[in-house]
Chains A and B, each alone.
Chain A
Amino acid sequence: DIQMTQSPASLSASLEEIVTITCQASQDIGNWLSWYQQKPGKSPQLLIYGATSLADGVPSRFSGSRSGTQYSLKISRLQVEDIGIYYCLQAYSAPWTFGGGTKLELK
Chain B
Amino acid sequence: QVTLKESGPGMLQPSKTLSLTCSFSGFSLSTSGMVVSWIRQPSGKSLEWLAAIDWDGDKYYNPSLKSRLTVSKDTSNTQVFLKITSVDIADTATYYCARTVFNYGRGYFDYWGQGVMVTVSS
Residues of A within 8 A of B (CB): 32, 34, 36, 42-46, 49-50, 55, 87, 89, 91-101
30 A-B residue pairs with Cβ-Cβ distance under 8 Å, sorted by A, are: A32-B107, A34-B108, A34-B109, A36-B109, A42-B114, A43-B112, A43-B115, A44-B47, A44-B96, A44-B112, A45-B112, A46-B110, A46-B111, A46-B112, A49-B101, A50-B108, A55-B110, A89-B49, A89-B108, A91-B106, A92-B106, A93-B105, A94-B63, A95-B49, A95-B63, A96-B49, A97-B49, A98-B49, A99-B46, A101-B46
Knowing A43-B96, A96-B49, A101-B46, the reply to whether A91 touches B114 (Cβ < 8 A) is no
Q: Is the interface of A mostly helix, strand, loop or mixed?
A: loop
Other than A43-B96, A94-B63, A95-B63, give 20 A-B pairs with Cβ distance below 8 A: A34-B108, A36-B109, A43-B114, A43-B115, A44-B96, A44-B109, A44-B112, A45-B112, A46-B111, A49-B110, A89-B47, A89-B49, A91-B107, A94-B60, A95-B62, A95-B64, A96-B49, A97-B49, A98-B48, A101-B46
**Cβ–Cβ contact B110 & A100, under 8 A:** no
Residues of B within 8 A of A (CB): 46-49, 60, 62-64, 96, 101, 105-115
Q: Which residues of B contact A46 (CB under 8 A)?
A: 108-112
